[in-house]
Amino acid sequence: MSNQQVMIEDLFPTLLAVAQGERSILADHQLDSIDFRQLWCDTMLNVQRPVVFHYLHICGPDGPDYDPHSALRMNN
């Protein structure tokens, strides 16, 4: 088990690699995500990158506590 931070966006390149999918579909697009298969084998690996989250959470004009929220994590 790794303590490395991953985010939902990391699933796409990881599952694409596991399925041995064609990477040419990514040729014209830069992803803000990583293939995290290496973290399955090397639990001591420390990938340094900012992890940014932004959730709109807008559920109508008067929704209780549904304002947008953001977070930035780096190295911890």
pLDDT score of 7 more than 90: no
Query: Is there a domain that residue 36 lies in?
Result: yes
β partners of residue 53: 71
Task: Kindly indicate the confidence band of residue 64, based on its pLDDT and cuts at 50, 70 and 90.
Answer: low
| Domain extent at residue 45 | 8-74
- pLDDT tens digit sequence for 37-57: 988 888 888 888 888 888 877
Domain count, the chain: 1
- The candidate with the shortest Cα–Cα distance to 38, out of 10, 73, 59, 75, is 10
**Helix, strand or coil for residue 10?**
helix
Query: Which residue in this structure is represented by tokens 């995290």?
Result: 36
30 contacts: CB under 8 Å, gap ≥ 6: none
> Taking the complete model, does pTM exceed 0.75, yes or no?
no
Do the domain assignments include residue 14?
Answer: yes
User: Quick one: pLDDT at residue 60?
Assistant: 65
Please state, in angstroms and rounded to a whole number, the distance separating the CA atoms of residues 62 and 49.
36
pLDDT bin (cut points 50, 70, 90) of residue 19 is: very high
